Structure 1
């Protein structure tokens, strides 16, 4: 559930729960009022019934005292049975130990356990009551006119409240209990919602605050995570991504700083070597060491070569800095890639042949589709790769091969040498800035360690890829791709 959904759910619950409780309270109060009204009606009826029963009992007492023989009259007994039945009572009359009248539906013999309770009591002049399982039994003794003793028993059902003298149930003040429960429910609901909101919002935000303080103090190894995919989870994910980016940036800055220090050291060395050489040869000319035209020409050639190397080094650094800050302009155009590499080979062949390096070129490009490239920047890539390869040629017959192949959407170029090769563990790093696979060799052969890094950035600006494959002792191949142009094919 998202955070917005949780807030809406809390809002709805804050409305619905009190509303439901209010409806329930109203329902209970209405029900209670109806019950109270019914109880009042019943209470009034019971009062009337009790008054009538008292009048009936007084009349019965008068008959027992003044006209006891009436209880031998079947007509009177029938009328008396009807009256007792109207009061939900039963009547049993005992004469000389026998039951002469029974208005109950139960056999009189089965009622003996109820009657035995009156054997030891004085029932001559008053009614005596005894409580049984199902009945309240009232008993009184009397004498007929001939002096024969008799007894009359009245059986009142215990299910009739007025019959046993119990008052009707009083009205309970439901209203205060309803409102008390109402308040308790709202308090409990608000407590629950507050706790949930605290657990959902405050605790996660406190965790983010703590993580922010850790980052502020420089601790970028303090990860945070949140299990749910809501807004808080998205915040945690964004914060964690920021932390990772900051850590990567910090690591990269450390690497850049180390690279900068190494670059300063490399540039200092690479510039110092030709400058020292130039100073030495100039000093030799000034001191007259070069005392003939041939020697002077040799000294000047050496000075020129070192000056060219210094110029190339400063050009590399300038180009690298422009690429690094994305401020190097590119001029892309449609290029006949076969013709382009033929021209490049012809240009490089003269320089490489002076160093006894054979440069071969083989094309497997079948179509006439043009390639989109910046001619000036692409030639810099080729020069850097070949110059790097030339430094690692250690065979007697030194050879560099350029192979052009066609792919569906572009061209694949391989520049292969038969040099010493690069160790497998160092191969992934050769395109890193200022990296030198063989530091001692580069110290002697020159190079700032940014040639292949420049090549990588230029190829990536062409939306291509560049990688290397190498076998120690056999040589190295640098591969890169270029995309075909969307313009018309060359006719």
Structure 2
């Protein structure tokens, strides 16, 4: 769950849980309160009601027996009506088949269905009861002094006054309010603890890790198992730590490379400078005392100056490639024709050194590759120069082999030289590395030719690697993307 969702859930829970608990508690309290008070009220009401009913019925029986004519007196009937109203009762008096008095709040004709039950019963000297849906009805005969008869009906509603909830139950509100406050406090405490555990502790860990990094300790990892905003923060912090560590290692590597560069430049420039200085001094001091010797000294000076220029150019090019400041001009190239032209260009120089240069193509499609012509020929030259230095057989040969793969061209430049030891093969593309550990300059070379080739090929989105067998020769492979698969910036 995300942090935002947790906060919203906490707010909702903080409101809903206390409310539900308070309502439930209030309901229980009210239920118990009503139950207790209702029982008390019912008991009291029943006792009072029974006593009133008994007194009223005794009084009514006495009047029926001794003064029945009172039931024709309207004043008496009004008093009776007041009494029975307080008892939740109504009276209906029938005289000569007619209803002469009715205190029930319903038309007498509508009450006839309740009276049918008494027509077949003897109601002369006793009360007869019947129960219907709405009323409990009692009936007894009347005998007036003039000899006429009638009937008196008592209607008692089946809904007793104690069936409604008691009115004095509001005292429980204080308890409900107290329970609500307690529920809010407990819920808030629990949620605060949970949020503290899920927020403060992880942030303390990040703070501790930040101090470790501040003190230079980049080997202090942090992790958070939950996938939320805190987890994303941990992941971002860990990625930052890793990148800082990589940057620190890269800076150390650059510093070592800088020191190595200075050392190698000093070493590589020292020999030609010393030679130029020595031969120039020989000319000045007259050691070269004839034209042929002077010419020899001057040629040696020129050769060393050319070597210094080539070394300087290689260093400048490599430095620019290393910091990505060399612009590339990519275009679609027919790789078969390009390599054939390159072979023709290199053929004359290699023939003078008794080296055979052959080209084999197995690239049959018309798919063009994407390349910078000027930079790519530099790759081929550098590989060729590296191969020339290791040719030690009587019949020297360098072969360019072109093959086609699904989305790229594969070029192999193979020589039949002395080969490279297996433990040194992975290092040949490192800057200033020479297989000749003594750094013999008789074969020339700055040690960065293959490093330059690697930088250029990688800028072409290709790969470069080497394979070698001691005594048989070495192959340098590199790939170039077809135009359709080349990713333009």
- 1:217, distance to aligned residue in structure 2 (A): 1.0
Q: Distance in 2 between matches of 1:444 and 1:231?
A: 64
- 1:33, distance to aligned residue in structure 2 (A): 4.5
CA deviations on 1:329-349 (whole Å, 9 max, x unpaired) are 111223232232222223223
CA deviations on 1:285-316 (whole Å, 9 max, x unpaired) are 22233333333332222222211111111111
CA deviations on 1:10-53 (whole Å, 9 max, x unpaired) are 1111121232234334424542442244033134158659999x
Q: Distance in 2 between matches of 1:184 and 1:448?
A: 83
**CA distance 1:325–1:430, shift in 2 (3 Å):** same
Q: Distance in 2 between matches of 1:444 and 1:174?
A: 108
The answer to whether the Cα contact below 8 Å between 2:22 and 2:179 also exists between their aligned partners in 1 is no
CA deviations on 1:392-423 (whole Å, 9 max, x unpaired) are 33334333221122233332110112233233
**CA distance 1:177–1:42, shift in 2 (3 Å):** same
Alignment of 1:386-425 (within 5 A): 386-425=384-423
Aligned to 1:19: 19
Asked if 1:9 is matched to 2:6, the reply is no
Q: Distance in 2 between matches of 1:304 and 1:369?
A: 45
Aligned to 2:447: 449
Aligned to 1:188: 186
CA deviations on 1:319-360 (whole Å, 9 max, x unpaired) are 112212222111122323223222222322333344443333
The answer to whether the Cα contact below 8 Å between 1:25 and 1:179 also exists between their aligned partners in 2 is no
- 1:376, distance to aligned residue in structure 2 (A): 0.7
TM-score (norm 2): 0.69
Asked if 1:383 is matched to 2:381, the reply is yes
Q: Which shows bigger deviation, 9-18 or 287-296?
A: 287-296
CA deviations on 1:71-109 (whole Å, 9 max, x unpaired) are xxxxxxxxxxxxxxxxxxxxxxxxxxxxxxxxxxxxxxx
Aligned to 1:212: 210
Q: Which shows bigger deviation, 18-27 or 437-446?
A: 437-446
Aligned to 2:127: none
Asked if 1:35 is matched to 2:35, the reply is yes
- 1:174, distance to aligned residue in structure 2 (A): 5.6
- 1:207, distance to aligned residue in structure 2 (A): 0.6
Alignment of 1:46-445 (within 5 A): 178-441=176-439, 445=443
Q: Distance in 1 between matches of 2:35 and 2:259?
A: 95
CA deviations on 1:229-262 (whole Å, 9 max, x unpaired) are 1111111112111111111111121111111111
Task: In structure 2, list runs of 5 or more residues that go unmatched.
Answer: 53-168
**CA distance 1:253–1:439, shift in 2 (3 Å):** farther
**CA distance 1:288–1:338, shift in 2 (3 Å):** farther
Cα RMSD of the aligned pairs, angstroms, is 2.8
**CA distance 1:205–1:447, shift in 2 (3 Å):** farther
Q: Distance in 2 between matches of 1:298 and 1:345?
A: 33
**CA distance 1:37–1:203, shift in 2 (3 Å):** same
**CA distance 1:40–1:442, shift in 2 (3 Å):** farther
Q: Distance in 1 between matches of 2:238 and 2:389?
A: 45
The answer to whether the Cα contact below 8 Å between 2:25 and 2:179 also exists between their aligned partners in 1 is no
Q: Distance in 1 between matches of 2:363 and 2:288?
A: 53
**CA distance 1:31–1:408, shift in 2 (3 Å):** same
- 1:277, distance to aligned residue in structure 2 (A): 1.2
Q: Distance in 1 between matches of 2:428 and 2:242?
A: 26
- 1:270, distance to aligned residue in structure 2 (A): 0.8
**CA distance 1:296–1:371, shift in 2 (3 Å):** farther
TM-score (norm 1): 0.69
The answer to whether the Cα contact below 8 Å between 1:270 and 1:447 also exists between their aligned partners in 2 is no
**CA distance 1:342–1:323, shift in 2 (3 Å):** same
Alignment of 1:448-467 (within 5 A): 448-467=446-465
Q: Secondary structure at the match of 1:369?
A: coil
